[in-house]
Amino acid sequence: MPIFDRLGAPAPTTIIIFGASGDLAFRKLVPAFYSLASAGLLPEKYFIIGAARSEMDDESFREHLRQGVDRFGRVRGGDDDDWGEFARHILYHRLVYDDVGGYHELARKCEKIERENDLGSNRLFYLATPPTLYESIVEELGNAGLCQSGEGYTRIVVEKPFGRDLESAHNLNCALHKVFNEDQIYRIDHYLGKETVQNIMVFRFANAIFEPIWNRHYIDHVQISVLESVGVGRRAGYYDQAGVMRDMFQNHLLQLLSLSAMEPPTAWDATLLRDEKVKVLRAVRSPTGEALHTNTVRAQYRSLDGHGPSYLKEDGVAADSQTATYAALELYIDNWRWQGVPFYLRSGKSMAKKLTEVVIRFKEVPHMLFNLRHDASVTPNQLSFCLQPEEGFDLGFQTKIPGAGMRTRSVDMSYQFESTYGHKALPEAYERLLLDAMLGDASLFARADEIEQSWRIIDNIVGGWQSGDGPVMSYYEPGSWGPAAAEAMLAATGRDWTANCLSDDDVEKVTKEDGAEATN
């Protein structure tokens, strides 16, 4: 079954990746281009120019990239012919980022390639460097005239993090807008390239049965969990400056929230879709004052017996760091649809399992006919969008237990994409997003106002924490389900966190193995 059933291939394009010797190009971008090439989804004519500071030539650059494709590609490097055919489209350009001359040289190189290969003048830039370089690269692109490529399009993809707060994000938007129009800018959030994330929209707006009940009358609350079993690893230097709020909430979790909560756009159109997402983000009430204490939790992983990893002992982390590696929030959306419905968001590193899910918990039935034992209750319906570890959906509902009486039991109606499309068949997020950027469809990319609205929410919370006006730092055992404070936040309202997209065995095993003791 074709996974990318797209109309039309992208027009001939020169793709220029800044930061091409780095990890992102190695693990994600080039493997994604290779998968697209293998599926015949790249333009008939294209070149990929990698620009970076490292000393390399075309050959050594290609060889380096081949290793990345072999290790991380959904489609591996294949035989020499397959790889050779792809690799002949790849060139390297050594660029010292503050050397103006280097950009002029790059401009001449692009023109030469375009001319000699009858490529036309479409250019797609990709900023995959450290974010501190973004503004100067963009300025130099403007100065060197690299953005004026004649008849063709010029677009720029900007990798996250997009700023570190509202002010810096706004400044970066201004710097980009001096050189590019908004419709040329593609701010990437790889979560939007995940199939199940897009499926939240299809599920809601291509099925008539859910939308009528998608509101405060029928939904008790929504849970969004993005848990990772890995720690901060080699990225501690970056992470200690960012923390979980900037690294995960500002982008991935708020994207999941806005897609789950937005009003239906009138058409599948980048402007209309993003208008709706911005409206939801605008309506998110930031917890302040007392709510900052009761509705937010911040925590770090810390091994109690000293045998496991502790955040403060990671290389590159300040010994007295107050950076949260875990956070949980109870947010409210001030509009008609969602008034009074809590949205619980949590994310953390070094957790028991990798788990990404959005769970819609419906309300209990208004009146229970069946004679349950007086201490029993029925589990309300829940709809789970499972992003990781497996992509799929799960609808929990009540059924009768066979035999005498009318006893009920929760069962699941589950759908796994793998069962229809096969193992490893779903495209990687970057494949979809790179293809969309070449096709000029910005629907799955963040707009300037969307980014700024999400920073407004995050800044209020992080700012509150930093000024000492919030909960104290909690701690959790690495490999556990998080701090007790997060459990307590939900328990205070009679709710608990779910892990619906994991098997019961998985949850039980971890809980037994580590005792899942919280340590705050």
Q: What is the largest CA-CA distance in the chain?
A: 84
Q: Scanning the structure block, which residue is given the tokens 């998080």?
A: 482
Name 423's Cβ contacts closer than 8 Å, sequence gap at least 6.
none
In this structure, which amino acid lies at residue 443? Answer: S
Q: Do the Cβ atoms of 95 and 16 come closer than 8 Å?
A: no
Q: How far apart are CA 508 and CA 491, in angstroms?
A: 20
Query: What is the residue whose two structure tokens read 């971890």?
Result: 510
Nearer to ligand BG6, 356 or 500 (CB): 356
Residue nearest to ligand BG6 (CB): 247
Q: How far is the CB of 143 from ligand BG6 (least distance, A)?
A: 31
Pairing mode of beta strands 343-348, 326-333: antiparallel
From residue 153 to residue 182, the character string flagging contacts with ligand BG6 as x (rule: CB under 6 A) and all else as - is -------x----------------------
Of 355 and 484, which has the nearer Cβ to ligand BG6? 355
Binding ligand BG6 (rule: CB under 6 A), the pick from 159, 240, 247, 330 is 247
Min. distance of Cβ 228 from ligand BG6 in angstroms? 5
CA 439, CA 437: separation in Å to the nearest integer? 5
- Compute the least distance from the CB of residue 356 to ligand BG6, in Å: 6
Q: Measured from the CB atom, is 38 or 356 closer to ligand BG6? A: 356
- The single-letter DSSP state of residue 183 is G
Is omega for the bond preceding 366 within 30 degrees of 0, making it cis? no
What gap in Å lies between CA 243 and CA 239, rounded to an integer?
5
114 contributes a contact to ligand BG6 by CB under 6 A: no
Nearer to ligand BG6, 248 or 341 (CB): 248
* Residues 352-371, interacting with ligand BG6 (CB under 6 A): 356
Closer residue to ligand BG6, CB minimum distance, 184 or 258:
258
Q: Which residue intervals of 361-447 are DSSP H helices?
A: 417-421, 429-439
228 counts as binding ligand BG6 under rule CB under 6 A: yes
Question: What is the C-alpha separation between 229 and 110, in angstroms, rounded?
Answer: 43
CB atoms < 10 A from the CB of 263, how many? 14
The count of chain residues that interact with ligand BG6, using the rule CB under 6 A, is: 4
Q: Is 431 in the site for ligand BG6 (CB under 6 A)?
A: no
Are residues 436 and 442 in contact, defined by beta-carbon separation less than 8 angstroms? yes
Instruction: For ligand BG6, give the closer residue by CB, 156 or 188.
Output: 188
- Active-site positions read 252
Calpha distance 458→452 (Å, rounded): 10
Quote the least distance from Cβ 399 to ligand BG6, whole Å: 33
List residues binding ligand BG6 (CB under 6 A).
Answer: 160, 228, 247, 356
